[in-house]
Amino acid sequence: MKTPYRFTLLSGIFTYVVLFIFAALWYRERMLFSDMAFQSFHILRTGALQVQSGRFGAAGTQVYPWLAQMMHFPLKSVLLSYSLGHVLYYFFLFLWVMVVLRQWRWGLAIVLFSVLMTTHTFYWLSEAPQGLAFLMALLAWMDTQTSVKTIRWWQWPLFIFGLITAFYFHPMVLYAMVFCCVWLFFYQSIPEKRQLWATGLALFGVLFFIKFKLLPLDWYDAMSLSRANAFKELWPNWLDIPSNHDFWAWIKKDYYLLPIFYLLSIGAMCYLKHWLLALWVVFFPLGYVLLVNIPFHAGDNQFYLENLYLPLAFMVILPIVFTFEQWKMPPKFVFAGLFFIILLRLGHIAQARQQWSARLSWLEQFMSDNKRSKYIIPEQSLPKGILHFTWGIPYETLLLTSLKGPDSTRLVFQTGEFNPKIDSLSHQKDLFLGTFKNYSLDKLPERYFRPSKESIYER
């Protein structure tokens, strides 16, 4: 077993074992928040996977809580399996790349991607990092082919389905694909290999045209596209905006390795005298930062924007893992440095837990201080600095209280100004008030939730 392969395999196993332990220890911080609480609730309510905005690749992580509830596991086990399933998803992709495809460079890229920028996105889980990891695994398979002609007839449907899956994970996967295919096209000099990357990029372009030009837009994608008006509205003041200042502050606090890898990737291109690629590595990531920050010029929650910044990690990792063997440095020194980086970032992920534990502690304290079974609380009374998002309160408190047992279920609904409709609904004893839709208590699975049917929501 050669040194690069052995190092990558062992460091990957170590990384995902540690992340697996983190996911087990802090599953409540991860699962009892907004999207994960919402999706967990609906998986338990319907007994089915919950694909949203067409991001069907999320089934790769939702299958774990779905199987757990199908086997009648208790609520804690369902939520724990969902948390652990997110780590297993990346680990299985890593093993497929390493053990089946024998592509250690792409395996190393997946490992580094899992830790280089990851801070709050370990706790706030979304489809973007899942899509980027899936894309790397797909590109690793493409890299095993010597040309387009070597792809067998039966592999084409699987290849195209893989491209569709990667594309539909998250819109930002598109930019990682563009960066990677262009970089590999110019870095690899074999014409047949270049045709492979050009074909992959062309197919992604076709998917983009079909989704955004031919098919009706999903509400979430339509909202995201509407933010593009900011480019015209803010010109020429694209640099002096709050989101750029926030990004720089987060680099110094959490993403401190990103500029180091960025400079190393530029230096690698210059050292190898790939001047065109050096320009690509310089300007594409900078342009991508503006692509994220200008639509969100007023700023947003760090965990949400971190989710959008993650392709940057992909962009700075790729040139390094493909070229470091050509540097005049002892391999053992390089591997020792990479392992130190992995340790450093794992420690950083553990430290970031404090913010999410504080949020969970507030919810627990609130439910401890208020003993009644159903509440309506005013939106303005909630500490948004601690809670971040508040739309998930009904689902978070439902799951939190039910962890003690189905008979412990209590309900909380948050609302803004006085709403006569909500006030009327709150007097219905057999109703669960949700942020987007209300449900009869009889429709909730009694195996997990048994809220009182004798009380009303109290303000």
Predicted local distance difference test score (pLDDT) of residue 215: 86
Question: Is the preceding omega at residue 394 within 30 degrees of 0, hence cis?
Answer: no
Yes or no: say if 266 and 281 are a contact pair by the CB < 8 Å rule. Answer: yes
Task: Give long-range contacts, CB 8 A cutoff, 24+ apart: 6-10.
Answer: 7/335, 7/338, 7/339, 8/98, 8/104, 8/107, 8/108, 8/111, 9/98, 9/104, 9/107
Dihedral sign of CA atoms 48, 52, 55, 61 in order = negative
Q: Hey, which residues does 413 pair with through a beta bridge? A: 376
Q: Which two tokens stand for residue 337?
A: 């440095």
Predicted local distance difference test score (pLDDT) of residue 75: 98
Predicted local distance difference test score (pLDDT) of residue 313: 97
Dist CA 243 CA 249 (whole Å):
10
Angle ∠(332,335,337) on CA atoms, nearest 5: 110
* Residue from 454, 426, 431, 455 nearest 442 by CA: 431
Q: Hey, which residues does 376 pair with through a beta bridge? A: 413
| Helix axes of 127-143 and 104-115: crossing angle, nearest 10 degrees | 170
Predicted local distance difference test score (pLDDT) of residue 424: 83
SS3 432: strand
Predicted local distance difference test score (pLDDT) of residue 370: 87
Dist CA 386 CA 368 (whole Å):
17
The string over 148-167, giving b where at least 16 C-beta atoms fall within 10 Å of a residue's C-beta and e elsewhere, is beebeeeeeeebeebbbbbb
Predicted local distance difference test score (pLDDT) of residue 459: 85
**Residue ranges for the chain with pLDDT beneath 70:** 1, 219, 417-419
Q: What is the Cα Rg of the chain in Å?
A: 24
For residue 358, the one-letter residue type is: A
pTM of the model: 0.95
Yes or no: say if 400 and 32 are a contact pair by the CB < 8 Å rule. Answer: yes
- What are the phi and psi torsion angles at 448 (to 5°)? -120, -35
Predicted local distance difference test score (pLDDT) of residue 189: 86
* Residue from 187, 195, 190, 189 nearest 274 by CA: 187
Q: Which two tokens stand for residue 330?
A: 């002892």
Q: Which two tokens stand for residue 369?
A: 């201080």
SS3 227: coil
Q: How does strand 431-432 pair with strand 439-440?
A: antiparallel
Kindly report, residue by residue over 347-402, the tens digit of the pLDDT.
999 999 999 999 999 999 999 998 889 999 988 889 989 999 899 999 999 999 99
